[in-house]
Amino acid sequence: MNPAPNLALVGPMGAGKSAVGRLLAERLGLRFADLDHEVEDRSGAGIATIFECEGEAGFRARESAALQALLADDGLALATGGGAVLDADNRRLLRERCFVVHLHLDVSAQLQRLARDRSRPLLQRPDREQALQELASIRGPLYDEVADLRFDTGNDNATHAAMALAELLAVKWQRGNIAA
């Protein structure tokens, strides 16, 4: 049982963390936050610009600071960035302050969903499938480590996934498996 005061969505890029999270927050009466947007708002620059100027390490430091600030409050549905779990302190904080749902999506589905997306710095290379495979091999075990629940979004659009996940969470709340 995880009586956490917040709900966090983790998972690979393209899994639907932002879209599902926004709909889920509305359905569950939680305040929604997107960690990537929070980093952009706090820095006054887009993620690609932060990567260009400060590298991934600079971005990750900003991400950790934003995560700490957001999780100081309760009643939040949080869409994390795909790499937020790379930092051990972030994983600890997520486990302590959130019921964590791993939105799972396999690499072939990621490729389809991200086919036209050119905004993601870690995919700015010729072999996107290899990049996604490499990220999955590193991050997949970390998503599983931090997650209280794994939910596959591969065949669902965001609306359907949010509805199904909200129903699943409601059942768990009723059974006392997570805090209401």
Q: Is 16 annotated as a binding residue?
A: yes
Q: Is 154 annotated as a binding residue?
A: no
Q: Is 58 annotated as a binding residue?
A: no
Q: Is 120 annotated as a binding residue?
A: yes
Task: Calculate the alpha carbon distances from 135 to 6, 21, 48, 71 in Å.
Answer: 26, 22, 18, 25
Q: Is 14 annotated as a binding residue?
A: yes
CA distance 39 to 4: 23
Beginning with the edge strand found earlier in the chain, give each strand of the sheet holding 98-104 in spatial order: 31-34, 76-79, 6-10, 98-104, 149-152
Q: Is 118 annotated as a binding residue?
A: no
Q: Is 18 annotated as a binding residue?
A: yes
Q: Is 27 annotated as a binding residue?
A: no
Indicate the annotated binding residues for ATP.
14-19, 120
Binding-site residue ranges: 14-19, 36, 60, 82, 120, 139
Binding site for Mg(2+), residues?
A: 18
Q: Would you list which residues are annotated within the binding site for substrate?
A: 36, 60, 82, 139
